[in-house]
Amino acid sequence: MYGFCSLPLIPLRDAASHSSEMVDQLLFGDTYELLSQTEEWCEVALCRYQYHGWISLKQHTPITDNEKKLIELWPAVVGEPFAAVTLRGKATLLPMGSRLPREAEVTVANIALQHTTTQQQSIATPLESALKLFNAPYLWGGKSCMGIDCSGLTQTTFRVSGAGLPRDASQQALAGREITSLAEATANDLMFFHNEAGKIVHVGIYMGDNKIIHASGRVRIDTVDNIGIMNCETGQYSHKLCSIRRITL
């Protein structure tokens, strides 16, 4: 059985509890496989990047196999921090990264959606999209301008450009191809940072000219060099550089 995110976003939790850690957010148009179900919760696996977690049963929208196939062909991706649509007959804002059908009006799972695809289509680079989210507050597991984490920022902005990335920084560090030195890095390359144990714990988007945009406290711009990220406000290094990867767009 399958479902799709029929709300602007849905929190994905580590366990079947509202007090459990939010590990991700589903965006409108995301599809998922229903793995199990309790009286209040659904265990799901996201179809696009195979991330597991729990959503509230009240937010689960079941779909048929055919509807799933159609939704996954939706070509438009919201490229602005928010896009206004009419959903269930009411004006609704969908966050960046949400997927929309080409048709201006569509009904799926008995839910009516109206929008103007020409206003949602975007050919922005990940860097251009990330700059639109500048100053968005940091939120663990978040993926919208109301709260976003470091890998949520990279995953969402690369999605706008048509490139799919896994959810976590450690998973994203395996994508694309390695760039061997900062001198060879170009704008839109992903930069990864590790902790004392050598585990990748942070990611950002290289801007060129030794600048990086990343989510740390908020979506911010800092200086980066061969050592790592230097906080422009404190003058202290905050993250240690591990690797650089280039994703084909």
* Residue 71 token pair: 């939704």
Catalytic residue among 60, 194, 202, 239: 202
Is there a catalytic annotation at residue 150? yes
CB 172, CB 165: distance < 8 Å = yes
Helix (H, G, I), strand (E, B) or coil at 213: strand
Is there a catalytic annotation at residue 202? yes
Catalytic residue among 42, 145, 150, 242: 150
Is there a catalytic annotation at residue 239? no
Q: For 111-176, give the DSSP string.
A: EEEE--HHHH-----HHHHHHHTTTPBB-TT-EETTEE-HHHHHHHHHHHTT----SSHHHHTTSS
Start-to-end CA distance of the chain, whole Å, equals: 32
CA distance 232 to 58: 44
Catalytic residue among 115, 194, 214, 239: 214
* Residue 96 token pair: 């960046």
- Catalytic residues, by residue number, are 150, 202, 214
